[in-house]
Amino acid sequence: MTKIDSRIPEGPVAEKWTNYKAHQKLVNPANKRRLDIIVVGTGLAGASAAASLGEMGFKVFNFCIQDSPRRAHSIAAQGGINAAKNYQNDGDSVYRLFYDTVKGGDYRAREANVYRLAEVSNNIIDQCVAQGVPFAREYGGTLANRSFGGAQVSRTFYAKGQTGQQLLLGAYSALSRQVNAGTVKLYTRYEMEDVVIIDGRARGIIAKNLVTGKLERFAAHAVVIATGGYGNTYFLSTNAMACNCSAAMACYRKGAWFANPAYVQIHPTCIPVHGDKQSKLTLMSESLRNDGRIWVPKKLEDAKKLQEGTLQGKDIPEEDRDYYLERRYPAFGNLVPRDVASRAAKERCDKGYGVNNTGLAVFLDFSEAINRLGKDVVAQRYGNLFDMYEEITDVSPYENPMMIYPAIHYTMGGIWVDYELMTSIKGLFAIGECNFSDHGANRLGASALMQGLADGYFVLPYTIQNYLADQITVPRFSTDLPEFAAAEKAVQDKIDHLMNIKGKKSVDSIHKELGHIMWEYVGMGRTAEGLKTGLAKLKEIRKEFETNLFIPGSKEGMNVELDKAIRLNDFITMGELIAYDALNRNESCGGHFREEYQTEEGEAKRDDENFFYVACWEYQGSDDKAPVLLKEPLVYEAIKVQTRNYKS
Q: How far apart are CA 278 and CA 256, in angstroms?
A: 34
Q: How far apart are CA 548 and CA 537, in angstroms?
A: 16
Sheet holding 215-219, edge to edge: 190-198, 201-209, 215-219
Torsion (CA) 149, 151, 157, 160 in degrees, nearest 10: 30
DSSP 22-49: GG-----GGGGGG-EEEEE--SHHHHHH
Torsion (CA) 477, 483, 489, 495 in degrees, nearest 10: -80
What is the DSSP-derived secondary structure letter of residue 403? Answer: E
Residue among 108, 217, 338, 585 flagged as catalytic = 338
What's the one-letter identity of residue 14? A
**How many angstroms separate the Cα of 385 from the Cα of each of 58, 333, 382, 404, 410?**
40, 22, 5, 13, 20
Contact of 44 with 228, CB cutoff 8 Å: no
Is 338 among the residues known to form the active site?
yes
Length of the chain: 648
Residue 150, phi-psi category: left (phi > 0), alpha (psi -120 to 50), beta (remainder): left
Half-sphere exposure of 257 (CA within 13 A, CB side): 27
Contact of 430 with 423, CB cutoff 8 Å: yes
Sheet holding 258-259, edge to edge: 2-3, 628-633, 613-618, 258-259, 414-415
Torsion (CA) 241, 242, 243, 248 in degrees, nearest 10: 140
Which of 7-18 are b and which e, b meaning 16 or more Cβ less than 10 Å from the residue's Cβ? ebeeeebeebbe
What's the one-letter identity of residue 101? T
Sequence-distant (6+) residues with CB within 8 A of 438 are 101, 109, 110, 113, 114, 117, 447, 451
- The catalytic residue positions are 338
